[in-house]
């Protein structure tokens, strides 16, 4: 069976789909992947360090002004629009087939497309919290001209994103595991499956149908019943036609 036809059959037969996605879902909306070779080269050239250093908890605490300069230029993108991948997943949820979108992205595009049950493993640029008093702020606080955003109490306002050296939210992680364990179909898209612990979530899947949609090879290609190396947006949009 042709790959797209097989994906259509997966979606047609599915009753409980879990989706696990990464940066490749958002690159089709024009959001660059800071972990890509291009992103790493830019970080090193313009900021003198790799993204893993610039976006680490230790770097944030020691050099907050440098952290925010890089963060605002590389991650704080609010004008992007959902692409066909986001739209297709929102449609699958409305159809009652998709139980959860589990994403490594922090851009909020799944919610903009209409998805409701979105588990953001690495947090969101739209949530920000004062480290001193706990006051919460929207993204506008970070977009202000101050080199380091500060609360009315004087404390630094930290984006609710998971930095290198920080752990994932246990509640969100456990919920993701539960959805994957209960799914009969797992769609993995736009991720190289190289970032842990997110990549390790695949180990919890016990269902009969797993599709891996990514432009490049991943360490888990041999585990999937279907591998499609093509843009995820067009792939999902085509697969949902006449479903």
Catalytic residue (one of 110, 122, 171, 179): 122
Instruction: Report strand pairing: 185-189 vs 209-213.
Output: parallel
Beta sheet of 98-103, edge-to-edge order: 118-120, 98-103, 17-21, 185-189, 209-213, 226-228
Length of the chain: 243
* CA 163 – CA 104 distance, rounded (Å): 12
Sheet strand arrangement including 123-130: 136-137, 123-130, 157-161
Distance of alpha carbon 98 from alpha carbon 91, whole angstroms: 9
**Distance in angstroms between the alpha carbons of the first and the last residue of the chain:** 17
Q: Give the integer Cα–Cα distance in Å for 159 and 67.
A: 11
- Active-site annotation holds for 122: yes
* Catalytic (active-site) positions: 122
């Amino acid at each position: 069976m042709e790959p797209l036809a097989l994906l259509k059959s997966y979606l047609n037969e599915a009753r409980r789909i879990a989706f696990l996605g990464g940066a490749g879902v958002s690159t089709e909306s024009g959001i660059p992947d800071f972990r890509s070779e291009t992103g790493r080269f830019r970080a090193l050239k313009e900021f003198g360090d790799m993204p893993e250093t610039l976006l680490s908890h230790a770097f944030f605490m020691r050099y907050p002004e440098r952290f925010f300069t890089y963060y605002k230029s590389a991650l704080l993108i609010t004008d992007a629009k959902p692409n066909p991948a986001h739209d297709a997943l929102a449609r699958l949820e409305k159809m009652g087939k998709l139980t959860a979108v589990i994403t490594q992205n922090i851009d909020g595009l799944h919610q903009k497309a209409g998805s409701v049950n979105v588990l953001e493993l690495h947090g969101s640029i739209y949530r920000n919290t004062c480290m001193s008093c706990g006051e919460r702020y929207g993204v506008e606080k970070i977009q202000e001209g101050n080199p380091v955003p500060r609360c009315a109490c004087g404390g630094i306002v930290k984006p609710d994103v998971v930095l290198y050296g920080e752990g994932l939210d246990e509640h969100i992680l456990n919920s993701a595991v539960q959805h994957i364990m209960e799914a009969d179909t797992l769609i993995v898209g736009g991720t190289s499956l190289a970032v842990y612990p997110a990549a390790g979530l695949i180990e919890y899947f016990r269902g009969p149908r797993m599709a891996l949609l990514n432009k490049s090879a991943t360490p888990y290609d041999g585990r999937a019943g279907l591998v499609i190396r093509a843009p995820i947006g067009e792939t999902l949009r085509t697969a949902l036609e006449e479903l």
